[in-house]
Structure 1
Amino acid sequence: MVKIHPDKALIPRVSVAGKDKASPFLTTEKETFTIWMRSLVFHTKGCTVFDSKGNLIYRVDNYSSKSFTEVYLMDLYGEILFTLHQKKSGIFKSWEGYNSSGTRFHLRKSFKISPTCSSSSYKVVMGPGGSDDKQSCYRIVNRGSKFTIEDGSGRLMAEVKKKQSNVNGLEFGEDVLTMVVEPQVDHSFIMGIVIAYSLLRCKL
């Protein structure tokens, strides 16, 4: 069986070298993460995220066996980084995310006709409500086996795809993903968007 992460004990909380102290989740260079769409807590749904060194960075643990409308993105120590809440208007569902520092976003499917049949897009609007198109927006573009997150100008912020393994020709399952985050991007915000996107598509 291919290892998703190295066998490491939980590391103590330390300051993050080389990063902005006011924003410890801000990338200084391109960073790669592994997303395992499973919780480490027995009998719960969720996901677990590791950095390139195999350290556990983020986790989502859902203790409810029934459908849920609120999910928490936490760090290694259980501190809530983003609260994600399901919104529903008629038959359309969307997810809203917010954190304690005031960052707020609203994710919904874009129903504009795609220039190609092989891709679909989702809109991330910043601010409460998420109904004003004049607000700052991001976009998720799904291209089948992978999806990208772009800012309003089309600049790539992150890419997520199935994780590949070159160890003895073995492959990871469909629930193991690689997320590459570009420099000068808050990867906790990106992870919040990824979780909301997975929830909207019933992948979590």
Structure 2
Amino acid sequence: MQILSNDRIWICPAKNMVKIHPDQALPVDSSAGEDKSSLYMTTEQKSFTIWMRSLVFHTKGCTVFDSKGNLIYRVDNYDSKSCSEVYLMDLYGEILYTLRQKKLGLFKSLEGYNSTGTRFRLRKNFKISPSGSSSSYKVVMGSSRDDTQQSCYKIVNRGSVFTVEDGSGRLVAEVKKKQSNINGLDYGEDVLTMMVEPEVDHSFIMGIVIAYSLLKCKL
């Protein structure tokens, strides 16, 4: 059972109630004229809670909170997993990234772009992992189809955890199932924690994570 109360989201197992984000939520500063790009650049490691549910009735999507419980991102504008176009928005409904599914032959990919010109393409990496215990997806920046000429990121899936790495292999973000601090209670498979490293645009990372979830049919 799920309850919405005072802009709070509660997950209610039989006799217990678990909040998926902390007690105190602070208002987000929406000062006019502010450079919004600075809102999304991390200065230190940041934690986010991703709830793979939309707050809008009868739509599919997800809701993202920061560590203080503020609503930061939302996707709630489609009603089918086969939807060809999805929008990552801020809490006010402003579109940050447009995500479009593409199909070339037998293989699907997903392209994302924003109003400032940032573009990326996500597709499965068909190189076999040496250990055989992980799979990966390649994130190619820019609009060119020549992957060798573009800077890249990579998503590596290791079971219940997946990471985002830059072209040099540096960890940029990690996403895994959110753990409850209350013994015996479980948030469920649709509540995740995303840790984003310093000096990273977390709106871009969120765009990649949403694209990955769509390709994996997790969203």
Note whether the superposition's TM-score is higher than 0.5. yes
2:27 aligns with one of 6, 11, 21:
11
Distance in 2 between residues matched to 1:95 and 1:65, nearest whole Å? 16
One-letter amino acid matched to 2:21: H
Q: Displacement of 1:131 after TM fit?
A: 3.2
Please list, as runs of the form range in 1=range in 2, the aligned pairs for 1:1-204 lying within 5 A after superposition. 1=12, 2-6=18-22, 11=27, 13-14=29-30, 22-65=37-80, 67-204=82-219
Aligned length: 201
Distance 1:134 1:32, change over 3 A: same
Distance in 2 between residues matched to 1:24 and 1:38, nearest whole Å? 24
Give the gaps of 5 or more residues in structure 1.
none
CA contact (8 A) 2:81 2:217 kept: no
Cα RMSD over matched residues?
2.0
Give the gaps of 5 or more residues in structure 2.
1-11, 13-17
TM-score, scaled to structure 2 = 0.86
Q: Displacement of 1:31 after TM fit?
A: 0.1
Q: Displacement of 1:117 after TM fit?
A: 1.8
Alignment deviations for residues 140-190 of structure 1 (CA, whole Å, 9 cap, x no partner): 000001000000000000000000011143111000000000000000000
Q: Among the aligned pairs, what percent are the same residue?
A: 79
Distance in 2 between residues matched to 1:22 and 1:39, nearest whole Å? 25
One-letter amino acid matched to 2:193: T
Distance in 2 between residues matched to 1:153 and 1:66, nearest whole Å? 33
